[in-house]
Structure 1
Amino acid sequence: MTGPFGETSTTDDVLEGVDLSGKRVLVTGVSAGLGVETARALAAHGAHVVGAARNLEKARKATEPVRAAAANGGGIELVELDLASLASVRACADALIAAGEPFDVVIANAGVMACPKSFTADGFETQFGTNHLGHFVLVNRIASLIKPGGRLVNLASAGHRFSDVDLDDPNFEHTPYTEFGAYGRSKTANVLFAVEFDRRHKARGVRATAVHPGGIQTELARYMTEDLVNSLVSSINAANEKSGAAPFQWKTIPQGAATSVWAAVVAPAEEVGGLYCEDCHVAEIQDNDELRSGVRRYALDPDNAEALWAKSEEMVGETF
């Protein structure tokens, strides 16, 4: 069954009747929230999950429900990964390559959101460096491990609507920094990375897609004050009222992770490859500021995607 599913569908809904026995899935960010639920749902249906996290002790505790739910041969193992350090990213990738065990799916789930201006260990603006460049290096280094017929799922966000990428000033050296402007750039980059990765790998049967999980209250919003959250929700509701859309509602974590697993193992690859999905369906291009759903045209632009790839290679000092 591939649908119909929607904004209230959960991971258990979309995976009902799906047997993932023998599948191997890499999920980044399994120490909280969506990453844990994604891993739980996959392992419960027989998948072997390789969960990546910066803090392994925290991840071990957080993934106890994953081990408890595992069935039909499913399970989880943990690997260390700090996306804000390319040394850590490369060490993780090298270890996975050395192990030589292929993946059916890679879900680039980890990320940070709306943090104060700061920089990664390599001097990149934190949100762009963590959300995009860390995954860019990891995924490209292990791309040979993704089986023909496999998929890459990048967790993007409706937050990509805040900003296109700025390839002339990715580290805000000349541009005034705003938390959501930087978040928007990094989330647009997540979509564009999927677009270009899909173009480069679809000939061998590997497809890539980007997904928006929806608004969920998780640790991702740790830097946001209650007033900021309320202000953001109010602005969304004002836009929704103007466009005739329903008021904003938070998703539960199982609802938020549903689009990730749907795009990873349920939706037909040819229907989601190179595209952006939300609420368990492919989103339409939407340039209307009054509508909160849909994907911005610049986030799917192939020339923009190719330019971001080249700039990312330049920034990390590595060619893929």
Structure 2
Amino acid sequence: MTRIFGAESTTDDVLDGIELRGKRILVTGVSAGIGVETARALVAHGAAVVGAARDLAKAERATEAVRAAAAESGGSLELVELDLASLESVRACADALVWDGRRFDIIIANAGVMACPQGKTTDGFETQFGTNHLGHFVLVNRIASLLEPGGRLVNLSSAGHRFADVDLDDPNFEHTPYAEFVAYGRSKTANILFAVEFDRRHRDRGIRATAVHPGAIRTELGRHMDPAVIEAMIASINETQKANGLPPFAYKTIPQGAATSVWAAIVAPAGEVGAHYCEDCQVAAIQDGDGLRGGVRPYALDPEHAKALWAKSEEMVGERF
């Protein structure tokens, strides 16, 4: 019988009884938050996890519990350096993984930044679009040949994709006034569209791609956010929730936040999640109304829009895949 999971499910709930020995999984962003918890849950069930992080010393400190879980289960954790805000670093990481030659069953593109002040990556891209989307775009495509048939790509997106569609005419805010959450929304929409097009290109090999919203969680991802802005946003969400007869906003724990990532990567039927957006361990419904809770905007799943973003991304990074 298929088990049903939801918003309160944790990584341990989702992976209960599942054996992952022999599975090799790449997780980006293993120096904090749900990246660390995702890695811990996977190695606790016997997986060999390759964890990528910009700051390896920080990742070493943050993953003590991951290594402890690996020692008990027979799983393993290997750390690799990856700065998604530098294409030189991204390409060096990808090249090293390809040279190593060991294959992956799953890639979980977890790392990212949120609502940060206006800035540029090393290569001159707007920070959030460059880090959250373009860095992963280059990394995943460069190592796509390592994905086993039947493998999966899970891109971490966000309900924040509802703030904005991608702007293919002005991705770097060169002609548009910068707004932190508009930039974040663009990058999170890009994460979904990337999954849609990657899925189309690789499904003939049995490889599927999906995007997930982990939920609202108190982690260092929100370090740039003004508490007053957060309070106003929650008030707006609650107003919408109440008007629709829905429960008020609630933060998730980190194990609850990481649950949808591992559910989409391992537990959910591939055909159900491929080219879709998931939240609360379910495939999300298309929802075009106001508010920030629940559902996915239609523009984020549009196949032609996904193809256009792919072409624009190749143009920006100077590389064809």
- Deviation at 1:290? 4.4
Letter in 1 for 2:171: P
Matched residue, 1:129: 130
Letter in 2 for 1:154: N
- Deviation at 1:231? 1.4
Q: Which whole-Å deviations, capped at 9, do the CAs of 1:186-242 have from their partners, x for residues lacking one?
A: 000000000000000000010000000000000100101221211111111111112
SS at 1:124 equivalent: coil
Q: Which whole-Å deviations, capped at 9, do the CAs of 1:150-194 have from their partners, x for residues lacking one?
A: 000000000000000000000000111100000000000000000
- Deviation at 1:243? 1.6
Q: Which whole-Å deviations, capped at 9, do the CAs of 1:62-94 have from their partners, x for residues lacking one?
A: 000001112432010100000000000000000
Q: Which whole-Å deviations, capped at 9, do the CAs of 1:109-142 have from their partners, x for residues lacking one?
A: 0000000000000000000000000000000000
C-alpha separation in 1, matches of 2:74 and 2:146:
21
Identity %: 75
C-alpha separation in 2, matches of 1:291 and 1:178:
17
Matched residue, 2:226: 225
Matched residue, 2:16: 16
SS at 1:6 equivalent: coil
Matched residue, 2:82: 81
C-alpha separation in 1, matches of 2:75 and 2:293:
37
Matched residue, 1:39: 39
Letter in 2 for 1:11: T
1:52 aligns to 2:52 (yes or no): yes
Matched residue, 2:25: 25
C-alpha separation in 2, matches of 1:64 and 1:2:
33
- Deviation at 1:311? 0.1
1:254 aligns to 2:260 (yes or no): no
SS at 1:153 equivalent: strand
- Deviation at 1:16? 0.1
Matched residue, 1:192: 193
1:266 aligns to 2:305 (yes or no): no
- Deviation at 1:291? 6.5
C-alpha separation in 2, matches of 1:166 and 1:291:
20
Give 1:236-251 correspondences, 5 Å limit. 236-251=237-252
1:49–1:76 CA contact under 8 A, matched in 2: yes
C-alpha separation in 2, matches of 1:310 and 1:94:
22
Give 1:131-170 correspondences, 5 Å limit. 131-170=132-171
1:242–1:290 CA contact under 8 A, matched in 2: no
1:2–1:267 CA contact under 8 A, matched in 2: no
Matched residue, 2:320: 319
Matched residue, 2:172: 171
C-alpha separation in 2, matches of 1:107 and 1:79:
14
C-alpha separation in 2, matches of 1:14 and 1:104:
18
SS at 2:73 equivalent: coil
Give 1:211-222 correspondences, 5 Å limit. 211-222=212-223
- Deviation at 1:2? 4.7
Normalised by the size of structure 2, how large is the TM-score? 0.98
Provide structure 2 residue ranges, at least 5 long, that are not aligned to the other structure: none
Normalised by the size of structure 1, how large is the TM-score? 0.99
Provide structure 1 residue ranges, at least 5 long, that are not aligned to the other structure: none
RMSD: 0.9
Single out whichever of 241-250 and 1-10 deviates more from structure 2.
1-10
SS at 1:209 equivalent: strand
Matched residue, 1:110: 111
1:18–1:45 CA contact under 8 A, matched in 2: yes
C-alpha separation in 2, matches of 1:75 and 1:89:
23
